[in-house]
Every structure is written in C-alpha cells, then in structure tokens.
Amino acid sequence: MDNILSKKVIITGPPGSGKTSIILELIKLKYNCLEEVARDFAKETNQKINSINNESEKIILNERINQYNSCKKGLYFFDRGVFDSLAYLKFKNLYIDKELWHRFLLKYKYNKNIFFAPAWEDIYENDNKRNEDYKTAELIGKILLETYKQCKYNVIMIPKTSVKKRAQFVIENI
C-alpha cells in the first residue's frame, strides 16, 4: 500500500451490486468508510433514486465533494465517488460542463485503482428507493465503467462471492 497517509479508495458499480454491503463489512472491520449519499438524499427528499433531476444531482455531487474534503490522513473507502455523479449525468442525458469536470479530475484524486462491483442478478433487488430494473442497472454499470476508464482510473473487478470475501479482496488489492 503506497502512501497510506492519504488514500481514498472508491468502491463503485451499478445499483444492487453489493457495494453498500461491502462498505458495511469494511466498517465492521474498523476501516474508515463513507456511505452512499444519493440514497440518503432520496430518503430525505422522498424521491426515487433514478428520478433525481439535474438540480438534485448537483446537491448529491456537492455531498460527494464534502465527503472527499472531510477525509484527513488515513485510508478511506467510498461507496461511490465524485465521478459517479458524472456517470449518472451521462446516464440521464443531463448537461455536463466539460471544463468543470476537467477541473474536478485535477482536484479530486482518488487512489488510481478503483474497485468495481459488477451487476449481479442473483443479489439484485429493488427497494423503496431503488426502482431500476436489472437491465437498467447493467446499463448504469457500463456507463460507470466507461466513465472511470475515461478518467484514467484502473478498474479492479470485485469477484461475485460472499460479502466477507469481497471485502477481503478489496483490502488485499488496494
């Protein structure tokens, strides 16, 4: 692990792929973790996640930036990062200010290796905030993957196995 004094590690992937379960397992193991902000926002505003509009996406982006800025020295795991917001803007065909995103690329630097939980139909389920069907989740996953690759991150695929083994995989491959 290089430069553990300030390592920010993203765990991303489509809805329902087990990201939050991995984050909760890492919390149990006493790691610093930042949970998904879109789910909290949807809960607070009584919205479905996939119906969030451009203004709401800006609020979620600002919360992700606040999460990033709140990290002091140490190892932190993020349930989604700033660039997930870019992917969701692409998915929803909303306006993207390319100059702003270029500045974000220079300013918000996560660990170059990010972890991607792929779509996994066996564990996918809807709930009161996640109302995308599985095919939509797969599409979101493809856009997330493309976005992080375009942002020059190395994507490490998390294997489809138990939550404990997935969390251990992330720890071992930082």
How many domains does the chain divide into?
1
How far apart, in Å, are the Cα atoms of 66 and each of 86, 107, 118, 135? 16, 13, 26, 31
Q: How far apart are CA 97 and CA 17, in angstroms?
A: 29
Query: What pLDDT does 53 receive?
Result: 65
- Give the percent of the chain with pLDDT over 90: 66
| Domain membership flag for residue 153 | yes
pLDDT at residue number 4: 53
Q: Which residues of the chain have pLDDT under 70?
A: 1-5, 42-43, 45-54, 128-130
116: helix, coil or strand?
Answer: strand
Has residue 47 been placed in a domain? yes
Radius of gyration, alpha carbons of the chain: 15
16 part of a folded domain: yes
Instruction: Answer whether residue 143 is part of any domain.
Output: yes
pLDDT, one tens digit per residue, over 7-57 is 999 999 999 999 999 999 999 999 999 998 877 776 676 655 555 566 778
Question: pTM score, two decimals?
Answer: 0.89
Residue range of the domain that includes 154: 6-172
Q: Specify whether the CB–CB gap between 54 and 95 falls below 8 A.
A: yes
Tokens of 94: 């909303």
At 55 the pLDDT is 77
What pLDDT does residue 173 have? 96
pLDDT of residue 132: 82
Give me the phi and psi of 102, to 5 degrees please: -65, -40
Residue 111 lies in a domain: yes
Within a domain: 1: no
User: Residue 59: which CATH number?
Assistant: 3.40.50.300
